[in-house]
Structure formats: structure tokens, C-alpha cells
Amino acid sequence: MRTIAHWIDGKPFEGTGPATAPVTNPATGVVTGQVALADTADVRVAVAAAAAAFPGWRDTSLSRRTQILFRFRELLSERREKLAALITAEHGKVTPDALGEVTRGLEVVEFACGIPHLLKGGFTENASTKVDIFSIRQPLGPVAIISPFNFPAMVPMWFFPVAIAAGNTVVLKPSEKDPSASLWLARLWTEAGLPDGVFNVVQGAKAAVDGLLDDPDIKAVSFVGSTPVARYVYERGTAAGKRVQALGGAKNHMVVLPDADLDLAADAAVNAGFGSAGERCMAISVVVAVGEVADALVSRITERARTIRTGDGTRGTDMGPLVTREHRDRVVGYVAKGEAEGARVVLDGRGVEPDGAADGFWLGPTILDHVRPEMSVYTDEIFGPVLSIVRTTSYEEALALINANPYGNGTAIFTNDGGAARRFHTEVEVGMVGINVPIPVPMAYYSFGGWKSSLFGDSHAHGSDGVHFYTRTKAVTTRWLDPSHGGLNLGFPQND
């Protein structure tokens, strides 16, 4: 049985904590390894390595930093299939989906390769007589990244390319459910020429998270996960004086107006609802059918969902298993409860016959119609292949439903009416909006993040928000041209 260790100061680190957790292939139910769970002492070793490496990396020229970024980008691009295979083996998502995850993370690396332009400051000559002022952006120091199981490569890559390019050092705490991708990325950084200690990995659970949140050498924390944990990370991290961006859960609605192309909308609902078995923070979990469109739309969605092949992600199937047996059982429980509360089960994935091992964590595509806002399948983030259909009589009712929801991560509207689309993106209280686009994840040069209980903190991920989060501004006022002493004057300085 292999042991999955930490990565500290440029090499594997076994750690001193005795605790481990099993790593399982969700498609077979077979335990494939044991991951070390860091204790406070292990976290301290990692943070100390990052702190020791920071002065040298901060002072490394931008030219040298970008050369290493470009080399990392080339290596990642050349070997993306290997990383995708690791993700499929531990997360369960099908191979094309895993490859897509790596590719989207690669886009952030490419964005970070342009960091010299993004770190430029400003300069004002002669702001006062013979006095010049300029501003610079400087790195923070060691920063922590706490990432979830559903995107073991992409979510860390939302953060660490920008953090490292800006001159910070990093301690990554990945999910203990699929930890191997983080070590693969660490080795790739070393091969690309990144100095030891700039990128570190501590495996673990809550003790490791608390160690990072409490350590005084950690200057900022980036987190992605459920809303309750995001709130906890934000509150504990900010109480310790750190910058925190904590991205939480979601309940993403897709509104379909009567004038929409129903075939396009049905394709989008199935792709966005059941991709990665619904284990995406940007998955569509609620389709809001407006007016008389509902019956025809549900029919089209169900017809398409029936054709999805559920099974082992390495066998050319469309949808893989859920990440753990416990999570699969939890999602099944929501389906049963929704049915008991009055929702109509149009497509039941509980009896799916998968193309995979009998002990895999299977649940097929499931569709619940006539879902009402008070039902638990609507109020809770299920994070599985369960698509709820809510019927409304008007656009106004659909908009009010979304704006009343405590989550505000992503949303979409399907319509051929440009005025309705413009009104929707103006009025909806959600951070990312798609118009005839079901998963509106922006490109890396735009920011990623939600509103309301989907984000704690005032900074989104990557884009210019990421650069600002991982740097701080310093303003410098200088006078060189007049060496004479101006005499004593205790009044507040005035510009002239």
C-alpha cells in the first residue's frame, strides 16, 4: 500500500503525524493508498520552509520568474494527459473531463506568464515642487491555498501561478480524497527550476487547515469549498490578521424563457447538470422553466439524460462515479427525501447499471420535476447528478427566486430576446452570469467568484483580482534635486 506524503522544501516529506486516511478509486471502491495527515508540527515545517524561501524568491528578477513560469507551462502542456489520468483515478471524473480541468488551469498559468505587465506601478513627476511620487506592488510573503476534492488540479491553479509569479511562496493543502495531483504539480515545479521552498504541499484535514489559519507567517489564505467551511476559514483567518478569499457553495439556476431554443437549452441543462456527476460549484442544479415551456423542456432534458452512459471514467463513458461511498449515499438520501416531499422523479438514477465495477460509487442522472423552494433538494447544495425543475409563471417570478436564494455563484438564462437577457444580467444578484451559456466560468484574465454566501472576502480568484490579492501597494515620495535644508516647519506638509 503506497503512502502519499507531503512535499516540503523541494522534496517529499513523510511528516511526524501518525494519522493517515485512505485514498480510494471511486470507480472500483478499491483503496489505492494512504495519505499522510499533517499535524501542527508538520504544518510548521512547511510554513517555515516557505518563509525561508520568500526573501530569495521575492528578490528574484521578473525576467527569471517568468522564465520559470513559461517552463512550467510547457511541461504541463506536454504532460497534461498524465495529470488527467491521476485525477480520474482518485476523483472518478471521466478522462475528457479531467483533461478539460487541466486545460482550464493551464490558462491561468498562461495568464501569470504576463505578470511583469500586471505588476507595473505608477509614477508622477513633480507632484510637488521637485518632489516625485511612485507606487509599486510587492508580494505578501508565504500564502496558503486550501483546495477541494472536485478540482484537484484546476482550483489550486486558480491561485498558485499568480501567487508565485507575483513573488510569494506557497503552502498548498489539497483535499485528502484526491491528493496525488498536488505532488505531481510540485515535482513539475522543481523540474521547471522553481527554487526549493517556494511551492510546498501539506496533506491533511482540519488540523492542517487550522495550523495554516493560525500560523503567523502565513499572510493570506485562498480557499474553495462548502459555504459553512468557507465562513469558518474566513472568520478564523481574518481574526488572525490574514487576507482571506473564501469561495463557498452554490445553487446555480438556469432560467429558460418561452422564446428560447429548447433543444439548445436541453443540451445545456444536461451538460451543465451532469458533467463530473454534478460535483462542480458551477454545475446547474436548478432549471427554472418559465410559463408554458415547462412540459416540452422537461421532456427534451429527460430524453437526452437517458442516453448518458455512467461508468468507469477510463472506459469512454459520459459520467463517472461520485467521489466517495458516503457522498453517494448522501445524494441518494436527497432524492428519496425530495420524492417524499412531493417532487416527481422523472428520471431515477438510483437503479443505474454502470459500465464499471459493482463496488463503485454509482448514481445515474436523476431529474426531479415540480420542485418547490421549500424542499431540501432545492434549499441545500446536493453536489451530485440531481437536476431539479422549478416551474414559474413569469420572468419576474424566476428572477425573484434566484435573488432570494442565499447563494450567488453562477446563473444562466436561455432566450432569443436581447432585451430580456440584458435585463437579466443587470438585475440578477449573482457573480457570474451566462446568456445562452450554461457554465459561465470566465477566462483567466477575468475574475472568478460569486456573491452572497458563495464568497467571503472582497476578492475573487485569478484575473486582476488575483494579482491585487497577492500583492500590496507601496507609495514612495522622493525629493533628490534640492539638497538645501528647508528650515524648521512643524505644520502639516502642503504641496506647492
Catalytically active residues are 281
CA–chain centroid gap for 269, Å, is 21
Q: Interior CA angle at 150 toward 169 and 308, to 5°? A: 150
Nearest to 352 by CA among 316, 380, 385, 375: 385
C-alpha grid cell, residue 277:
456527476
Q: In this structure, is the dihedral angle defined by the CA atoms of residues 241, 244, 249 and 253, taken in order, positive or negative?
A: positive
Measure the CA–CA gap between 110 and 89, rounded to whole angstroms.
Answer: 26
For the chain, what's the residue count? 496
For residue 113, the number of C-alpha atoms closer than 13 Å in the C-beta half-sphere is 13
Q: How many helices (H) and strands (E) does the chain have?
A: 16, 23
Assigned C-alpha cell, 207: 488540523
Which 8-state DSSP code applies to residue 60? S
Q: Burial level of 216, CB count in 10 A (0-12/13-18/19+)? A: exposed
DSSP 213-259: HH-TT--EEEEES-HHHHHHHHHHHHHTT-EEEEE----EEEEE-TT
Pick the closest to residue 102 from 125, 123, 121, 81 (CA basis). 81
Q: Which amino acid is at 242?
A: K
For 296-319, b where at least 16 C-beta lie within 10 A, e where not — what string? ebbebbbebbeebebbbbbeebbb
In DSSP terms, which residues pair with 30 in a beta bridge?
A: 25
474 bridge partner residues: 136
Measured CA to CA, the distance from residue 474 to residue 86 in angstroms comes to 42
Q: Which of 228, 243, 229 is nearest to 175 (CA)?
A: 229
